[in-house]
Structure 1
Amino acid sequence: MHPLPLRPPAMLAQAAASLDILSHGRFELALGTGGYRDAIASMGAPRLTPGQAVDALEEGIAIIRAAWDTDAPGGIRHLGERYRVEGAPRGPRPAHDMGIWLGAYQPRMLRMTGRLADGWLPSLSRYRSFAELGAGNAVIDEAAAEAGRSPAGIRRLLNLDREREPWQLAELALEHGVSGFILMARDVRAIERFAAETAPAVRELVAAGRSPPPPDLLPHLNATPHHSNATPHRWNAAPHHPSATPRSKLRPPPNALPPQPEGHRCPQNRERRRRPRGREGRRWPPCRRRTTGCGSAPSGSGTNPPAPPGRPPTRIAATPPGSRPPDGT
């Protein structure tokens, strides 16, 4: 993410294209108006108001795209209020169709993203909850449609200030259309762990979330919710915007899986027996390892849920209330 006021747009376009050529088409350009105005002014750049900075960014995007368009005749010519370029040579051409991503938060910047940008790159730390991304997506989609662009053509990315659980990132991908995550970390071990463990797990969860629900679970998905405030099943929820995929299947509601016999204890995590009573009157919280085939649920009657495809079913024996399961189960 580069604050545009620190470099003239024509020179920034040449530098970005050169890096893209040297990296064999692996460079993308992310721009911002420059939120740290005092630091920018201390380096000799002009001090702009927020409105002036947005105007300058819009002009800068036009200059950068003109610099990359080596097929156009003549040099770059732009006579704007913030930038003036008169006959500067075009090029070099990037090694691939390089996009311009914008770090936008306010409505005017979000609308510019929908009209002119190739991607939206906010930081998750600026939002209090994941749901706030939906409001920004809606503004971008509306502006893109008004400009005659497809909202699905605008890539959604996200800066991460710290490591997140794979299911959280998969939910952002499935519900809000986020297709790329950038971990801002100085710890080399955190970056290696993110690449070696988190990223493959997120890809696996997203692939599972985009597949249709198993046929043997459909009767349970259509069952009546266990309480009046139950949220709709994620399988049946509509996607947020055209670039999003159907809702995540990462954490189905409790009634999406058949309940276990009375007194069931999950043998895969015995420490959970020391925890207090779960919410909504459940005797034991659902097992965190539901995806392995255990699928422990609130006390009741029923059978174990089917194991995922490719895995043998896990046999769980019911134990009377107050008794301990035998070792090795």
Structure 2
Amino acid sequence: MPKHRRLPFLLALAGGSVAAFLVVWPQGVGIHRLPFVANAISLRGILAIGLGVLAVLVGAVAMWRRRWGVAAGLALALAAAVLGDGAVLLVRGGGVPMAPGELTVAAWNTYGGSVTPAEIARLVRETGADVVSLPETDAIAAAEVAGILDREGIAMAHDTVAAAPDGENIPTSILISRVLGTYRLDAGAGSTVGLPSGVWKPVDGSGPTLVAAHPMPPLPGATERWELGLAWIADRCRDPDVVVAGDLNSTVDHFSGLGIEGGMIGGCQDAAAESGSAAAGTWPVRLPVALAAPIDHVLVGSEWHVQGFAVLTDFDDAGSDHRPIVATMTRE
């Protein structure tokens, strides 16, 4: 490379490398929950493809015009970003075989009730779920699901929180196996802002605290309420005997900085991350699992050990824009 092009190349490479680091690991400088950044890293697979295409185009320009300075430096930086994003996804994993556990927890955002009660009942039946968190499912649908299951000999209690403070009337329901005992909504625990979440505790105190969660998405103008929702979830995760499930509108990237005492968010660990499935996407269903955003989660307190986690693709035609998830766990 001629000397007069070496400096522009090095400057472009240095600047591009800094930008590549910010794209791959924005939590390294604390910008992972900023507007647009939060949205971009939710879809790491799409982001990597876009950066790869851009790297090829910039590299082609460098070769065609024989200008190996700025264009070549940028092409190399873009390629590094693609490799970095791919490495993150590879380390997080796309799924491993499920193992049975003492407790099975499922979650499914049913897209405003677009999923029929029969399909939700099929989810319970096929997964053997003891607990099912159902964001965007109303009390009528939850009761119908419980009725279908009861006729099949599967006894499930149901409950619903209808609205969140300063939010919309988009409900969140929960199904709880009667084998776990009687549970009651803890109204004093509050809710996420904007969209409703609830906390259910065993009446006799002998089981885990259950949280059906649905914080706001990180849309422009709603980022602050989204962050407040994540903080509310982190507070619930101070309880070592807690299980949180739902559409958290966040990936594990967004949990960075919210953990305490070794937890990923509060004192909780993420079931997908613990089982090598944190790159398996749940939304939207029109994208393959490898490219979709992994924003639906099951979180467990320190008294629980994750046995397995799966994103279920057999329900892609059921009417929701989310895939259901299921996790198994045992007590430590």
Could you say which TM-score interval applies, normalised by the shorter chain? under 0.3
Structure index of larger Rg = 1
User: Which one has more relative contact order, counting CA pairs under 8 Å at least 6 apart?
Assistant: 2
State TM-score, norm by structure 2. Answer: 0.24
Between Structure 1 and Structure 2, the one with more strand by share is 2
State TM-score, norm by structure 1. Answer: 0.24
